């Protein structure tokens, strides 16, 4: 992975904070957007980095900021030939013009925050878009000639039946996406969801929904290549694979994380302090840590276990793991049942 190098760009602005969200996002700082984009360009120009093989713009809501301003940020990144450039999109914000601006700036992949295709489930999650806008957003992506896209789904919301989840997966597949991410709803401290235990997901329900999703996605030709990600051949997210393979990347923007050669660090959390630091020519780093060799080795195995290629046979004690892992040549890979218990299986790594 030495020839791969990633850039993550964090856009911290949101129109509304979802009930389950614990990310560094703000709904009351929109007046800072242009200053923030200018600071990103300054920070990127000042950074020493090799040609970048993947860029991921996340948030927050990247589609809330001026698309021409975001395009200018993307053009400041020194891209390697054939680099993957992804922008997360809120379906309500997507327009034909926005996608055309993105495409002209080199965006060749978008990730659309669908979460659910069922209205009452979206309400339960605290989402405000409507399923019809997902259909329209995908049409805009295709009209702009952007070659690949992902649909992000979440299962396990309060009040979501198995049939609701089936409708979401089938509705997403009807749009013929090359990639789908399906994540179990997680309860994070400090969120409204955390304070309402009656809305917390049930483990057995989550397992049923995972298996249903896997059945439907695999039948539609999308292969599982990481526990929560399915793709057609050649459409795997290269930027996320970089993370899972412990590659090097720089994070730009408030609260963005970076990793180089076993050292990882994270930026100042609030956008106004990030802007001030960049404008003053000061470091934007808030804190960091250097991993020792053993910690890095174990983390690498934990990440690798989640992927289709698995880990070397000598890295996992497979006793009492019948049905959870399979040996394929000199590798051990998770079965579907094992994917549901990936964290528990990883405790047996050695």
pTM: 0.95
Residue ranges of the domains in the chain? 5-243, 294-346
Tens digits of residue pLDDT in 238-285: 999 999 999 999 999 999 999 999 999 999 999 999 999 999 999 999
DSSP-based helix, strand, coil % in the chain, nearest 5: 40, 25, 35
Structure token pair of residue 13: 């602005």
Write a three-state SS string for 74-133: HHCCCEEEEEEEEEEECCCCCCHHHHHHHHHCCCCEEEEEEECCCHHHHHHHCCCCCHHH
Tens digits of residue pLDDT in 43-96: 999 999 999 999 999 999 999 999 999 999 999 999 999 999 999 999 999 999
Structural fold of domain 5-243: TIM Barrel (3.20.20)
* Cα–Cα dist 88/112, whole Å: 6
* Cα–Cα dist 34/255, whole Å: 18
Structure token pair of residue 106: 């080199």
- In eight-state DSSP terms, residue 167 is H
């Amino acid at each position: 992975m030495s020839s791969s190098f990633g850039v993550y760009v964090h856009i911290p602005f949101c129109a509304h904070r979802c009930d389950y969200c614990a990310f560094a996002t703000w709904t009351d700082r929109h007046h800072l957007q242009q200053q923030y984009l200018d600071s990103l360009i300054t920070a990127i120009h000042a950074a020493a980095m090799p040609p970048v093989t993947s860029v991921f713009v996340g948030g927050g809501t990247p589609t809330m900021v001026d698309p021409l301003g975001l395009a200018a940020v993307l053009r400041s990144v020194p891209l390697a030939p054939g680099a993957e450039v992804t922008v997360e999109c809120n379906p309500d914000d997507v327009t034909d013009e926005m996608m055309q601006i993105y495409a002209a700036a080199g965006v060749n992949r978008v990730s659309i925050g669908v979460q659910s295709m069922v209205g009452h489930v979206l309400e339960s999650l605290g989402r405000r878009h409507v399923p019809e806008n997902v259909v329209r957003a995908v049409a805009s992506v295709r009209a702009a000639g952007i070659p690949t896209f992902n649909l992000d789904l979440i299962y396990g919301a309060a009040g979501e039946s198995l049939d609701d989840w089936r409708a979401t997966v089938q509705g997403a597949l009807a749009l013929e996406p090359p990639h789908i991410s399906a994540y179990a709803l997680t309860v994070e401290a400090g969120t409204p969801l955390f304070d309402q235990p009656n809305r917390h997901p049930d483990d057995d329900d989550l397992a049923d929904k995972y298996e249903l999703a896997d059945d439907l996605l695999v039948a539609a030709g999308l292969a599982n290549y990481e526990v929560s990600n399915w793709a057609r051949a050649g459409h795997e997210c290269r930027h996320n694979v970089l993370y899972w393979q412990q590659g090097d990347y720089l994070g730009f923007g408030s609260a963005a994380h970076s990793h180089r050669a076993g050292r990882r660090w994270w930026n100042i959390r609030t956008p106004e302090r990030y802007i001030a630091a960049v404008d003053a020519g000061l470091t934007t780093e808030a804190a960091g840590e250097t991993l020792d060799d053993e910690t890095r080795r174990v983390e690498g195995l934990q990440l690798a276990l989640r992927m289709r290629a698995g880990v070397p046979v000598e890295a996992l004690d497979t006793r009492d793991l019948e049905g959870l892992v399979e040996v394929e040549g000199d590798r051990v890979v998770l079965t579907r049942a094992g994917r549901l218990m990936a964290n528990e299986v990883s405790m047996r790594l050695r």
